[in-house]
Amino acid sequence: MDADDPETWDNFSDEAKASTVQAGFKPRSKLFQYFGNQHPDLLACYTPEMMAAMAQLTGERADLFHPPDGTLIQNIFPSDEEWAWQRAHFDGGVKAKMHKTLPGPFIINSIIYLNDIEKHGGGTLAWPGSHKPVRTLAESDPEKYEYMWRLSQDLSTVDIGDPVELEPKCGDILFFAHFCVHAATNNVRDTPRLALRSRW
């Protein structure tokens, strides 16, 4: 795929298509993802400074964070659909995964943006501070919410405030807690949104 050549934007492998559908994204959204890419230029984005930042943000030991052996590519291509966001969610709430809610399946998530994103260009939608009321709900009934998929079912009962559409620049990184509510958005601009996703 060449980001500057629209003729190549539909060249998705069957594996990428299957991964995208399995993750719950609608094909018409033009979001496609691929697990386990090991291209050295992409892995070089996971710098020592990034690892140190995650340790600082979480208060965890620095040795818990190390560059991944492979990364998830998650690109959103221009769509003919109107701008809208997909389902608001927190990561790990898929029933098939059976992730335990507490302490949680991961410490921190990251999205590395590989190009400048304009308004309505596929930027992530995030609900600032949403991890706090979601955690409060989880802790209110640990037995009921033992698994994250069950907690996800009651997300609509929580007041998470208003979302913010991010407009990151190339090289910006979004770090977010595992209860942080976010959503993918349609890209109604004329260039793809290119990004890498990882969890620790």
Q: Note the pLDDT of residue 76.
A: 93
Residue 3 lies in a domain: no
Residue 101 tokens, joined = 């809610």
Domain limits for position 169 = 15-199
Average confidence score pLDDT of the chain: 91
pLDDT digits (tens, 9 = 90+) for 68-101: 999 999 999 998 999 999 899 999 888 878 899 9
Residue 5 lies in a domain: no
Least confident of 30-44, 102-116, 130-144: 30-44
Mean pLDDT of 131-153: 97
Residue 120 lies in a domain: yes
Residue 165 lies in a domain: yes
Under 8 Å between Cβ of 181 and 86? no
Please report, for the domain that includes residue 27, its CATH number. 2.60.120.620
Residue 39 lies in a domain: yes
DSSP 84-114: -B---B-TT--GGG--BSSS-S-S-EEEEE-
- Reduce the DSSP state of residue 144 to 3 states and report it: coil
Under 8 Å between Cβ of 42 and 75? no
pLDDT digits (tens, 9 = 90+) for 14-26: 766 666 666 666 6
Q: Note the pLDDT of residue 24.
A: 62
Q: How many domains in the chain? A: 1
Residue 4 lies in a domain: no
Strand order in the sheet with 125-126: 164-165, 125-126, 182-183
Residue 88 lies in a domain: yes
